[in-house]
Amino acid sequence: GNSVTQMEGPVTLSEEAFLTINCTYTATGYPSLFWYVQYPGEGLQLLLKATKADDKGSNKGFEATYRKETTSFHLEKGSVQVSDSAVYFCALSDENWWYAGGTSYGKLTFGQGTILTVHP
Protein backbone atom coordinates (compact mmCIF):
# COMPACT_ATOMS: atom_id res chain seq x y z
CA GLY A 1 0.00 0.00 0.00
CA ASN A 2 0.89 3.67 -0.06
CA SER A 3 3.18 5.14 2.57
CA VAL A 4 4.91 8.42 3.36
CA THR A 5 8.10 8.78 5.38
CA GLN A 6 9.25 12.11 6.79
CA MET A 7 12.51 13.00 8.45
CA GLU A 8 12.64 12.59 12.18
CA GLY A 9 11.99 15.66 14.22
CA PRO A 10 11.85 17.90 16.00
CA VAL A 11 13.77 20.44 13.96
CA THR A 12 15.03 23.55 15.74
CA LEU A 13 16.39 26.50 13.76
CA SER A 14 17.33 30.10 14.26
CA GLU A 15 15.45 32.80 12.40
CA GLU A 16 16.65 33.29 8.79
CA ALA A 17 18.16 29.79 8.63
CA PHE A 18 17.58 27.49 5.65
CA LEU A 19 15.00 24.76 6.12
CA THR A 20 14.77 21.32 4.56
CA ILE A 21 12.28 18.68 5.67
CA ASN A 22 12.73 15.41 3.80
CA CYS A 23 9.79 13.40 2.53
CA THR A 24 9.87 10.17 0.54
CA TYR A 25 6.96 8.06 -0.54
CA THR A 26 5.93 4.63 -1.75
CA ALA A 27 2.91 4.42 -3.99
CA THR A 28 1.40 2.45 -6.81
CA GLY A 29 0.69 4.48 -9.88
CA TYR A 30 1.19 8.19 -10.07
CA PRO A 31 0.12 9.99 -6.91
CA SER A 32 -0.31 13.69 -6.23
CA LEU A 33 1.87 15.05 -3.40
CA PHE A 34 1.14 17.63 -0.75
CA TRP A 35 2.51 19.47 2.24
CA TYR A 36 0.15 20.42 5.02
CA VAL A 37 0.95 22.70 7.96
CA GLN A 38 -0.57 22.66 11.44
CA TYR A 39 -0.05 25.78 13.55
CA PRO A 40 -0.41 25.46 17.33
CA GLY A 41 -4.00 24.87 18.37
CA GLU A 42 -5.30 24.73 14.82
CA GLY A 43 -6.31 22.15 12.26
CA LEU A 44 -4.21 21.25 9.24
CA GLN A 45 -4.19 23.47 6.19
CA LEU A 46 -2.84 22.82 2.73
CA LEU A 47 0.52 24.55 2.21
CA LEU A 48 1.43 23.46 -1.32
CA LYS A 49 0.92 20.65 -3.80
CA ALA A 50 2.31 19.06 -6.97
CA THR A 51 0.41 16.73 -9.25
CA LYS A 52 3.01 15.48 -11.71
CA ALA A 53 6.74 14.78 -12.00
CA ASP A 54 9.03 17.83 -11.91
CA ASP A 55 6.19 20.10 -10.78
CA LYS A 56 7.24 22.60 -8.14
CA GLY A 57 4.68 23.62 -5.56
CA SER A 58 5.24 26.90 -3.75
CA ASN A 59 3.50 29.07 -1.17
CA LYS A 60 4.53 31.52 1.55
CA GLY A 61 8.20 31.14 0.59
CA PHE A 62 8.09 27.33 0.88
CA GLU A 63 8.86 25.12 -2.11
CA ALA A 64 8.82 21.42 -2.91
CA THR A 65 9.58 19.62 -6.18
CA TYR A 66 7.98 16.32 -7.20
CA ARG A 67 10.88 13.98 -7.96
CA LYS A 68 9.57 10.74 -9.40
CA GLU A 69 13.01 9.22 -9.93
CA THR A 70 13.83 9.49 -6.22
CA THR A 71 10.20 9.26 -5.00
CA SER A 72 10.73 12.40 -2.95
CA PHE A 73 9.00 15.70 -2.20
CA HIS A 74 11.30 17.61 0.15
CA LEU A 75 10.08 20.87 1.66
CA GLU A 76 12.45 23.86 1.60
CA LYS A 77 12.47 27.48 2.66
CA GLY A 78 15.38 29.83 2.26
CA SER A 79 14.85 31.93 5.39
CA VAL A 80 12.53 30.76 8.15
CA GLN A 81 10.69 33.03 10.55
CA VAL A 82 9.45 32.47 14.09
CA SER A 83 5.92 32.40 12.67
CA ASP A 84 6.84 29.26 10.65
CA SER A 85 6.97 27.24 13.88
CA ALA A 86 4.43 24.47 13.31
CA VAL A 87 4.04 20.80 12.48
CA TYR A 88 4.52 19.93 8.81
CA PHE A 89 2.93 16.88 7.18
CA CYS A 90 3.78 15.36 3.85
CA ALA A 91 0.91 13.51 2.17
CA LEU A 92 -0.07 11.76 -1.04
CA SER A 93 -3.31 10.89 -2.75
CA ASP A 94 -3.83 7.80 -4.84
CA GLU A 95 -4.26 8.69 -8.51
CA ASN A 96 -6.94 6.02 -8.74
CA TRP A 97 -8.93 7.21 -5.75
CA TRP A 98 -11.96 8.11 -7.82
CA TYR A 99 -12.22 4.80 -9.61
CA ALA A 100 -10.68 2.19 -7.39
CA GLY A 101 -13.25 2.01 -4.65
CA GLY A 102 -12.36 0.06 -1.57
CA THR A 103 -10.05 1.40 1.08
CA SER A 104 -8.15 3.71 -1.23
CA TYR A 105 -11.26 5.65 -2.11
CA GLY A 106 -11.13 9.19 -0.83
CA LYS A 107 -7.97 8.69 1.18
CA LEU A 108 -4.94 10.86 1.74
CA THR A 109 -1.93 9.08 3.24
CA PHE A 110 -0.03 11.27 5.69
CA GLY A 111 3.49 11.09 7.03
CA GLN A 112 4.07 11.21 10.76
CA GLY A 113 4.68 14.95 10.85
CA THR A 114 7.78 17.02 11.62
CA ILE A 115 7.77 19.59 14.40
CA LEU A 116 9.60 22.79 13.45
CA THR A 117 10.59 25.34 16.08
CA VAL A 118 12.21 28.60 15.01
CA HIS A 119 13.96 30.75 17.62
CA PRO A 120 14.52 34.52 17.28
Instruction: Catalog residues that contact another protein under the rule CB under 8 A.
Output: 4, 32, 34, 41-46, 49, 51, 89, 91-93, 95, 97-98, 103, 105-108, 110-113
Q: How far is the CB of 36 from another protein (least distance, A)?
A: 8
Q: How far is the CB of 108 from another protein (least distance, A)?
A: 6
Nearer to another protein, 82 or 115 (CB): 115
Q: How far is the CB of 30 from another protein (least distance, A)?
A: 12
- Rounded to the nearest 5°, which phi and psi values hold at 105? -70, 125
**Cα 5 to chain centroid, rounded:** 10
Q: What is the dihedral of CA 33, 37, 70, 15, to 10 degrees?
A: 150
- Integer-rounded Cα radius of gyration of the chain: 14
